[in-house]
Amino acid sequence: MTFGIDDLPVRDELRGKTPYGAPQLDVPVQLNTNENPYPLPEALVERIAERVREAARGLNRYPDRDAVELRTELAAYLTKTGHHPVTASHVWAANGSNEVIQQLLQTFGGPGRTAIGFEPSYSMHGLIARGTGTGWLSGPRNADFTIDVPAAVAAIAEHRPDVVFITSPNNPTGTAVGAEAVLALYEAAQAAKPSLVVVDEAYVEFSHRESLLPLIEGRPHLVVSRTMSKAFGAAGLRLGYLAAHPAVVDAVQLVRLPYHLSAVTQATALAALEHTDTLLGYVETLKAERDRLVTELRALDFEVTDSDANFVQFGRFEDSHAAWRRILDRGVLIRDNGVPGWLRVTAGTPAENDTFLDAVRELKKESG
C-alpha cells in the first residue's frame, strides 16, 4: 500500500474527500468549464504588457495592499452596468471569486457555523465551506431547477444558517433568480439569525435579467460576488470581486492575507477594465450562441433548461456519464456535473458549437 493522504494527520473532515477536479484534457473542442472562448484582443494584450512592464519596475516593493485603484475601476464598472452607484468602499477584490467566497466564509462562517446552498449549484460553495470548517447544508430546488422558495424559507428558519448562497444565474443549470425570491430568502435569513446572504453573480453579464446589485442598498447583510473569469474572458487572470456595505469590506480584511493581490494581477485587471466595451461585445455574441444552442438542442428533442448564463444544461440521459464519454470520443469535452440525467455545455465559438451539435446529432441517431 502506498502512503497517502489518509496516512497523514489531516483534519477529520478532509479524510476520504476528493479535490475540485473538472478534467483538463487536451481535446480540440473544450466546452466544459464555462470559459470564454475568445482570446483577449491584441490591443488589450499590448496594454497588459505595458501595464505589467510598469508594475515590474516596482516589484521590489509590496503591491497596494488595499488595491484602491482597481477597486475604484471595478466600482465604476458596476455603477455603469449594475444600475446602482457604488464606490471603492463597497468593493473588495481577490484572486478569483473563489477567494472572495473563501474570505466571506472565513469571516462569517467557520467552526460551529453553517452555510446553505440550493443544489444542484456551484459545488465550490460547499467545498470552500468544508475547507473553512463551516458546516454545509443542502437546500431544495424545484424539478425545473428554480429555487423552491417556500421550502428554502422553511429550511433557513429550521437550520438558521450563518451564510446563505444564492447563485444567479445558477451553475450548472443556467437558471436566474428573481429579486422577489432573493428578498424572501434574505428576510427569512434575517429573521432566523441574522445571517449573511451571498448572491453569486459570476455569470450575470450573460443574463436576460438585470443584476441584483441594487438590492445591497439598505441591506448590510447582502453581498453580490462577481468575477472577471467569464464575461471579461480572463479566467487565467484570477480576479473576483464583491459589492456590499462598506462594513462587509472592512470585515473581510480581518482574514485576507496581506498583499494577496499581486502587483501583476492588479495591473492586468486594470488593463482589462480599460477594454470593457470590447470585451462586453463578445458577451453579446456568446449570448446569441447560447440561445442558438438552446434552440437547436430543443429541435433535437433534448430537454433543455432555460439559460441565463454562457452554458446550457440539457438531457435527459439514462446514463449521462456514458453520453458524456461518447461526446468526448468525438473530440468535444463538455461537463458531467453529477446531476443525474443531465449534462452541461459551455457556449463556445460558432464553429465549436457546430462541432458539438454535430456530435450530439450523431449521438441521437445512434440511440434511435
Q: Which is nearer to ligand PMP, 171 or 195 (CB)?
A: 171
Q: How far apart are CA 216 and CA 148, in angstroms?
A: 23
3-state helix, strand, coil in the chain (%, to 5): 45, 15, 40
DSSP codes joined into one string, 15-39: TT-----------SEE-SS---SSP
3-class secondary-structure state, position 225 = strand
Q: Which of 197, 227, 267, 2 shows the shortest CA–CA distance to 95?
A: 227
Q: Can you tell me the distance from the alpha carbon of 280 to that of 360, in angstroms, rounded to the nearest whole number?
A: 29
Nearer to ligand PMP, 312 or 357 (CB): 312
E-state strands within the chain = 29-30, 91-94, 114-118, 135-139, 163-167, 196-200, 222-227, 240-243, 303-304, 311-315, 332-333, 342-346
User: How many CA atoms are closer than 13 Å to the CA of 79, on its beta-carbon side?
Assistant: 13
C-beta closer to ligand PMP: residue 117 or 135: 117
- Interface segment toward ligand PMP; rule CB under 6 A; list 60-68, 91-99, 249-257, 329-337: 91-99
Please report how close the Cβ of residue 206 comes to ligand PMP at its closest, in angstroms.
12
Q: Which three cell numbers stand for residue 19?
A: 479535490
What string marks each residue from 208 to 237 as x (binds ligand PMP by CB under 6 A) or -? -------------------x-x-----x--
Task: Give least dist CB 66 to ligand PMP, A.
Answer: 20
Q: Distances from the Cα of 150 to the Cαs of 122, 184, 271, in angstroms?
A: 21, 9, 44
C-beta closer to ligand PMP: residue 141 or 326: 141
Please answer whether residues 212 and 308 qualify as being in contact, where contact means their C-beta atoms are separated by less than 8 angstroms. Answer: no
| Start-to-end CA span in the chain (Å) | 46
- What distance in Å separates the CA atoms of residue 335 and residue 322, rounded to the nearest whole number? 12
Q: Which is nearer to ligand PMP, 96 or 120 (CB)?
A: 96
Question: Nearest approach, Cβ of 200 to ligand PMP (angstroms)?
Answer: 5
Q: Quick one: which segment of 57-65, 92-100, 267-275, 276-284 binds ligand PMP (CB under 6 A)?
A: 92-100
Q: How far apart are CB 53 and ligand PMP at their closest, in Å?
A: 25
* Closest separation in Å from C-beta 103 to ligand PMP: 12
Of the pair 175, 320, the CB lying nearest ligand PMP is at 175
- Applying CB under 6 A, does 97 fall inside the site for ligand PMP? yes
Residue numbers 162-201 binding ligand PMP by CB under 6 A: 167, 171, 200
Q: Please give the residues from 235 up to 274 whose contact with ligand PMP meets the rule CB under 6 A.
A: 235, 240
Closest distance between ligand PMP and the C-beta of residue 171, in Å? 4
Does residue 34 touch ligand PMP according to CB under 6 A?
yes
The minimum distance between CB 319 and ligand PMP, in angstroms, equals 25
- Please give the residue whose beta carbon sits closest to ligand PMP in the complex: 96
- The minimum distance between CB 122 and ligand PMP, in angstroms, equals 4
Stretch that binds ligand PMP, among 94-102, 267-275, 345-353, 358-366 (CB under 6 A): 94-102
User: Judged by CB under 6 A, which of 63, 82, 96, 161 binds ligand PMP?
Assistant: 96
Q: State which residue, 63 or 172, has the beta carbon closest to ligand PMP.
A: 172
Cα–chain-centroid distance for residue 290? 17
Residue found under cell 441565463: 308
Provide the β-strand partners of residue 241: 93, 226
Q: DSSP string spanning 300-362?
A: TT-EE---SSSEEEEE--SSHHHHHHHHHHTTEE-B--S-TTEEEEE---HHHHHHHHHHHHH
Q: Kindly state the smallest distance separating residue 231's Cβ from ligand PMP, in Å.
A: 11
How far apart are alpha carbons 330 and 28 in whole angstroms?
Answer: 9
State the minimum distance, in angstroms, from the CB of residue 98 to ligand PMP.
4
Binding site for ligand PMP (CB under 6 A): 34, 96-98, 122, 167, 171, 200, 202, 227, 229, 235, 240
